[in-house]
Amino acid sequence: MLQVDNNQELSFNIEPDFSSRLFRKVTFSAWVKYENVVRGANNWNMFNCFRHYMFLKNSKTGTVSGVSFLTLAGYDGTSDWKRIVFTYDYSANKGYDQLKTILKFNLGSVRSGTAWITGIQVEFGGVANEYAPALEDVDSLITEAKATFERTAQGLRTDLTAVQAYVNADGTRQKPCGLSPVRRRQGS
């Protein structure tokens, strides 16, 4: 889960160079929560979700568009966790066949507020699937789990060695000094 405060942004350079890879229908989804978001002076001063910093290009002519700040959703106020899903067809931009873009979540010049984002997905086609971590995230979780397991196993080996040493010393240990309990006879 990532937190964004006023004038902060979370950005993903999903297509750093001109490419036709995303020039099709794409579905965006995420889980968001926001609290006390008060809009700023401009209509874009809100909690912006899937805000683009995008350029389009015609690969045949080399024509490049001006920057587009396409924003798929904007919110203010307060909301508990909710899943947001939007589909956008980049190929509807006739005259172009490539794009490069950065996706952002931001609180741009709002008067106040905080937002949280998790479970971000960008998928080809018009269907938002249930959230699944990216393979690189799964790999890092597996690596972390293996390291934890190895530390636990080493700790258990150390404990087992200490127990074995204690058992092996049985009969050679001296009894602790102190008074022996006194047994009283009945009636005395």
Strands 9-19 and 98-107: antiparallel
pTM of the model: 0.69
Separation CA 168–CA 170 (nearest Å): 5
* 155-172: pLDDT as tens digits: 667 767 777 777 777 766
pLDDT (0 to 100) of residue 135: 73
pLDDT (0 to 100) of residue 118: 95
**Banded model confidence at residue 74, pLDDT cuts 50, 70, 90:** very high
Integer CA distances (angstroms), 93 to 20, 23, 48, 57, in order: 12, 9, 22, 10
pLDDT (0 to 100) of residue 131: 86
* 76-131: pLDDT as tens digits: 999 999 999 999 999 998 899 999 999 999 998 999 999 999 999 999 999 998 88
